[in-house]
Amino acid sequence: MIRLERRRRQSRAWALATPVLAVCATVATGMVMFALLGKDPVEAIRTIFWAPLFDPNLASYARPQILVKAAPLVLIAIGLSLGFRANIWNIGAEGQYIMGAIAGGATALALYPLDAWWIFPLMITAGIAGGVAWAMVPALLKIRFNANEILVSLMLVYVAEQLLASVSIGLLRNPDGIGFPGSRNLQHYESAANSELITGTGIHTGVIAAIAVALMVHALLRLHRLGFQIRLAGLSARSAAHSGANPKRLTAICLAAGGGLAGLAGIFELAGPAGQLTIDFNVGYGFTAIIVAFLGRLNPLGIVLAGLLMALTYIGGEMAQFMLNLPAAAIQAFQGMLLFFLLSMDFLSRFRIAFGTARIN
């Protein structure tokens, strides 16, 4: 008889080792997958993990791009981690990311071509508000009708995608774009552009914001009463209630934080690397951030490292597609393996496999 038994106490060393083991298992399994695809597995792994950082011909381009890719992942993942810690499951960050970009982008385009220093801060405010507003839909339905926030937030992603398509070919379409879908390019609108702060480094306002948010949320969780209540709610809802935590208030706060940071990531991406609202503006950051959040053990500082690692797989994966002709689906599967192995090993850190003889009464 094989059964699962909950461990009396979870090993802290195992909990810390789980992300490292998950990465190693992902690399090993990925090598098998690449070999089955007829590619050199060692060269594929080297291209994904080594070349973007240390290849003299590629690193000058790849290193700044790692920071550019990591910033939205870190911002979104930190917002999601607050809810995940409290057992509030926001799976719709992709939609909140889109709505933040739409709200912030619409603000800038409404003021075009006005040149004023306060336009970019106003865009940031609108982006956060757009993400929060979209996250409040599952929050209010959860609070009022006990609706499942997983399903509601996830379904709203598809609504947001349709709104994005609608404004890209309608309300926010570039009037000088000769009929092509997409808004004006905000990189050409100086007051609304999120340009590099130091040329050639990839560091823009979003990168600075990601680091600042990580430090602030780390302090919140360690030093503030709200952070204590969020951590306690994830361990025991009853204990959290006895500590004075209001479950409905926590739901609203955690979903608002996730939506706000996703919207913030959306506006930084729109005003920076993406430049304009298009039908395919969203590239899955909201879903990938779930992997980043768990890979970072829901710890803000760990999420920064996890975001950099995931960004490395993005850039290295793009290079592998170009240099080794690997299919994009293989790179996506490789990234998905990371979450699979992480959750599997995390499960085994809480339970153990026991063998015995079945009793017959």
d(CA 97, CA 149): 17
290-308 per-position pLDDT tens digit: 999 998 989 999 999 999 9
Q: How far is CA 93 from the centre of its chain?
A: 8
Other Cβ atoms within 10 Å of 322 Cβ, number: 10
194 CB-contact burial (10 Å; exposed 0-12 / middle 13-18 / buried 19+): buried
Whose CA is closest to 228, among 255, 250, 252?
A: 250
Domains for the chain: give ranges and CATH numbers: 1-37+327-361 (no CATH), 63-325 (1.10.3470)
Of the CA atoms within 13 Å of residue 55, those in its CB half-sphere come to 14
Other Cβ atoms within 10 Å of 302 Cβ, number: 21
Q: How far is CA 301 from the centre of its chain?
A: 14
Please tell me the predicted confidence (pLDDT) of residue 356: 66
- State how beta strands 2-6 and 351-355 pair: antiparallel
Please tell me the predicted confidence (pLDDT) of residue 358: 52
In order along its 361 residues, the chain shows pLDDT tens digits of 677 777 777 777 777 788 888 889 999 999 999 999 999 999 999 999 999 999 988 888 899 999 999 999 999 999 999 999 999 999 999 999 999 999 999 999 999 999 999 999 999 999 999 999 999 999 999 999 999 999 999 999 999 999 999 999 999 999 988 888 999 999 889 999 998 988 888 899 999 999 999 999 999 999 999 999 999 998 887 887 777 889 999 999 999 999 999 999 999 999 999 989 999 999 899 999 999 999 898 999 999 999 999 999 999 999 999 999 999 899 889 988 988 898 888 877 777 777 766 555 4
Instruction: Assess contact for 184 and 174: CB atoms under 8 A.
Output: yes
* Residue 355: both structure tokens together: 């063998």
Q: What are the C-alpha distances in Å from 326 to residues 24, 288, 313?
A: 21, 20, 13
Q: What residue has token string 């996250």? A: 135
* Residue 214: both structure tokens together: 């990580």
* Residue 85: both structure tokens together: 């810690």
Please tell me the predicted confidence (pLDDT) of residue 174: 92
- Full DSSP string of 210-266: HHHHHHHHHHHHHHSHHHHHHHHHHH-HHHHHHTT--HHHHHHHHHHHHHHHHHHHH
Q: Is the link from the previous residue into 300 a cis peptide, with omega within 30 of 0?
A: no
Instruction: Assess contact for 181 and 173: CB atoms under 8 A.
Output: yes
Please tell me the predicted confidence (pLDDT) of residue 18: 84
31-76 per-position pLDDT tens digit: 999 999 999 999 999 999 999 999 988 888 899 999 999 999 999 9
What are the E-state strand segments in the chain? 2-6, 351-355
Please tell me the predicted confidence (pLDDT) of residue 288: 93
pTM of the model: 0.92
Q: What are the C-alpha distances in Å from 101 to residues 43, 125, 127, 131?
A: 38, 11, 6, 8
Angle, helices 247-269/59-85, rounded to nearest 10 degrees: 160
Instruction: Assess contact for 295 and 227: CB atoms under 8 A.
Output: no
d(CA 73, CA 310): 8
Please tell me the predicted confidence (pLDDT) of residue 262: 98
Note every long-range contact of 141-144, with CB atoms under 8 Å and residues 24 or more positions apart, other chains counting: 142/251, 142/255, 143/248, 143/251, 143/252
